[in-house]
Amino acid sequence: MTKLLASVRNREEAEIVFQNGADIIDMKDPDNGALGAVDLSKILEVKGFIAGRRPISAACGDLPMHPESIRRRVEEFASAGLDYIKIGLFPSEQLDVCIEALRPLASHNKLIAVIFADNWKSYSETLFERLSVCGFFGLMIDTADKSKGRLLNHMSPDQIGKFIGSGQSHGLMVGVAGSLEAPDVSRLLTYDPDFMGFRGALCVDLNRRSSIDAQATAKIRGLIPEVLEEGGPASVDYKLLAARGYFPEPEEAGLGTDKIFVRDFVLPVYIGAYSFEHGKTQKVRFDVVAEVLRVTRNPEDMRHVVSYDLIMDGIRAIVAEGHVELAETLAEQVAAFVLKNPRVVRVFVRAEKLEIGPGGVGVEIERTREVKNSAKLRFTQVHGGRQSS
């Protein structure tokens, strides 16, 4: 399950995010840059307040890619006994040397490499492997220039998903950040990052240089399901999810469903079973309707809705995977993706090839999820009127 990392610059802000359920308290000063460092005295003050109740991380600052400078700063922060230490790694000829210089410290500290989406294409394809070999505990994707938009302005959701999956496949804890806003949460939760980092979305007027706001923090907390770890493996607190708008409360039961839809969504797709269809794209039109559980009579924020962005993100991600032979396969993959959202109870998918025959040809399917209660969801498929679990 995904954890909420909240970036704060002093004890007062740490108290607010702690009281509003942040899983990781992160120390960072936005006035000092994207990864602006906070004085060690303030870090120790926050550490004293938290007293081991939550993990604490801190950013080392926007440092030049000089191996000795970075090593000394990380040693300084390691002396504070932090749970995680975040180090910004910018594209540079010295990048590999800097990573290697931190290998001794990585053996007894949880180092988190911060990679910047602004320069994503400038990093080596072997970066994840290099970080893993040198003992880094994790990595996160962020943005360096906050004036040029949020993370999703630089990388598409499926690219972010591949970043997360690749990092996790190398044994790294992977996080996402970068001026994320409330509507981004559900889109990125689909890819199961280990944590999501926020600053601006938690602040007054969504200004990262303003002070942390309790109401804004509670809003973001309400969008990320919490993890229970007491007495066994991590599990989802479904009662808490219901309280936060993921499922109906008893007094709101029986509200039924709403429908969200995407119509006439046309993409070039590598599709077809014939040899002449390989190696080139064909236009495919998608029409998707998802029935979602209503959780309140008066929807007010992102907790209460399922965004149609999820449908389009899913289709784009599936298409980006490469050639698929059958429209039926494509439709099944889209339906399965949409049904990953626990609020979706039924989905209708039409995938229509537009370049064969006098008109469109394709397939339309319906798949359902039977909801027993808020704590147990059973997936069923409809095949010619029969259901199979």
* Full DSSP string of 263-278: EEEEEEE-B-SSGGGT
Each residue of 40-98: pLDDT tens digit? Answer: 999 999 999 999 999 999 999 989 999 999 999 999 999 999 999 999 999 999 999 99
Catalytic residue among 28, 47, 219, 353: 28
Among 197, 148, 201, 205, smallest CA distance to 174 is for 197
Going by the DSSP 8-state scheme, the letter that residue 2 receives in this structure is: P
- The answer to which of 116-120, 230-234, 304-308 has the lowest mean pLDDT is 230-234
For residue 173, the surrounding DSSP H or E stretch is strand 173-176
Task: Convert the pLDDT of each residue in 309-333 to its tens digit.
Answer: 889 988 998 998 899 999 999 999 9
Write out the CATH class of domain 250-388. alpha beta
To the query of whether residue 219 is one of the catalytic residues in this protein, the response is no
Pick the catalytic residue from 3, 42, 47, 86: 86
Please check the confidence at residue 254 and state whether its pLDDT lies above 50: yes
What is the rounded average pLDDT for all residues in the chain? 86
Are domains 3-236 and 250-388 of this chain identical in fold? no
Which residue in this structure is represented by tokens 């602006």?
36
Partners of 195 in the β-ladder: 3, 175
Q: Give 114-124 pLDDT, tens digit per residue.
A: 999 998 889 99
Q: Which of 134, 137, 118, 116 is nearest to 126 (CA)?
A: 134
As a whole number of angstroms, the longest Cα–Cα distance in the chain is 73
**Tokens found for residue 69:** 């400078």
Q: Catalytic site residue 28?
A: yes
The answer on pLDDT for 215 being more than 60 is yes
- The whole-number average pLDDT for the span 125-148 is 94
373 has a pLDDT exceeding 60: no
Name the pLDDT band for 370 (thresholds 50, 70, 90): low
- The ranges assigned to domains in the chain are 3-236, 250-388
CB proximity list for 118: less than 8 A, separation 6 or greater: 143, 144, 145, 148, 154
Long-range contacts of 196-205 (CB under 8 A, 24+ apart): 196/2, 196/3, 196/4, 196/5, 196/224, 197/5, 197/6, 197/7, 197/26, 197/140, 197/142, 198/4, 198/5, 198/6, 198/7, 199/6, 199/7, 199/28, 199/30, 200/146, 202/6, 202/7, 202/17
| pTM score, whole prediction | 0.75
**115/117 Cα distance (integer angstroms):** 7
Determine the topology of domain 3-236 in CATH.
TIM Barrel (3.20.20)
In angstroms, how far is CA 346 from the centroid of its own chain?
Answer: 24
131 near 170, Cβ under 8 Å? Answer: yes
